[in-house]
A and B are shown apart, each in its own frame.
Chain A
Amino acid sequence: MISALRSSRLAPLLLLALVIAVAPSVFPSVFYYEVGASIFIAALAVVGLNLLMGFAGQVSLGHAGFWGLGAYAAAIGPTHMGVPPLAGLLIGVLLTMLIAWLVGRPILKLRGHYLAVATLGFGFLVTMVLTNESRWTGGPDGMGVPRLDVFGFVIRGSRMWYWASAGVLLVGVWLALNLVDSPTGRALRALHDSQVAAAVNGVDVARYKLTAFTISAGYASLAGSMAAFSDGHITPTSAGFLHSIELVTMSVLGGMGSIIGAVVGAGLLCALPQLLTVLHDYEQVVLGLTMMLIMIFLPLGILPSIAARFGRGST
């Protein structure tokens, strides 16, 4: 059975589900459910970002912008427009993907650093609009978010959010694993290694980059909405530059091009500051040092480096 698991395409998904199911049995307090939920929600965004960065090889430094759009859709829809919260979330995802598609069309023609700078600019733009349109967004202080109810069933409390966000993450991971092992996924991985060879083999490089960008924006938006609902309050910083960098860091630490690596990276960067609070003043120093050591000794990121050491391909 173990060998069947090892060879199965969905083995990482099953392993992740197992960890999620077993972890609460060692939680000393309810607070850990909260940390767990925030890890799963961040991981969802990173799984999406990883499709863009790890597989298609395109860097986005403005992904928190999409997160912010999702978060504010979840808040503004129900508060100002009388839209049910779940509908706000779904409309947010669709709108964000539409915006990503429109914004991505011109900027994905850019390469390397130019693309990174253009997405950076997009992130700033979103933060600025969210900060300035205070009639709708509450300005720099942010705004409250109603509870998420799914057809009358209200999701509230850390425990419930732990399971709800875990469920959504597992679906997100499943979709991503499917995509990677499909013609779309192969086209993305191919253009990452050689755009010119991908093109002469019939891959419409510009279109596939745009597809990856749009999908990854959808993941970020969904994560943003869920974070907003679970926290009950949002501010424009969730769309800000530092948050974008945090998402990129999670992706790189966990291992670009590894879907489970994305989850590991998110877990590490969310959990480490909590664990290091005992160090008080030295918290930031140790956090930075840990990240540097990981990149020095596991240069491919945590999961791919370990997988390479044990002679297995990573997924």
Chain B
Amino acid sequence: MDVRLTAEDGYQAERSYSIASAPEESRLSLTVEQLKDGEVSPYLSEELRSGDKLELRGPIGGYFVWDVSLGGPLLLVAGGSGIVPLMAMLRHRDAVLGAADVERHRLPARLLYSSRGWDEVIYRDELARLAERDTALEVRHTLTRDQPQGWNGFRRRIDRMMLEEVAWPPSEQPQVFVCGPTPLVEAVAQALVELGHQPARIKTERFGPTGGSV
């Protein structure tokens, strides 16, 4: 979605945000990461009030999209706010697949999610809930800057070795979606290709250098 804000003096700022909600949900939801020196994100995260009006354009962009009809297995790799469009996919998968294990295992999903610290993990609790009740969904975190006491998970940037451990073997032909800051996305895409995954099955959404809309 494109969001446009117009100030009283006519100044306009426009930003693109990935849709966080699944198509099945009744309301559209966008998740905005607040950037300290941002022009738009501080306004959206702190000033905006219920009832305020925004100009929206969309939904647009059918390339970085997945729905259950495209099948799986589904491999999602996210860095920071790159989790947003991938969350929409997981919410959609959860909404559409029945509760039966059998059905869910026909379309298994794995998420590898890189964040700086545990407090910065977006949708942290929701991801835990989804994974808890779905044996066909695996969520793996890597915390690159600080880790809580007793942390057993990964504690480094996503690299080829980590992907080799988490991803399905190329023979499974997963649908892969990678989203986040440009350097992360490119490193992950390259590593997956080196591991033997088909390039045509890897879709990327680079967010740019900082990883988020300003």
The yes or no verdict on A and B being binding partners is no
Q: State the A residues within 8 Å of B (CB).
A: none
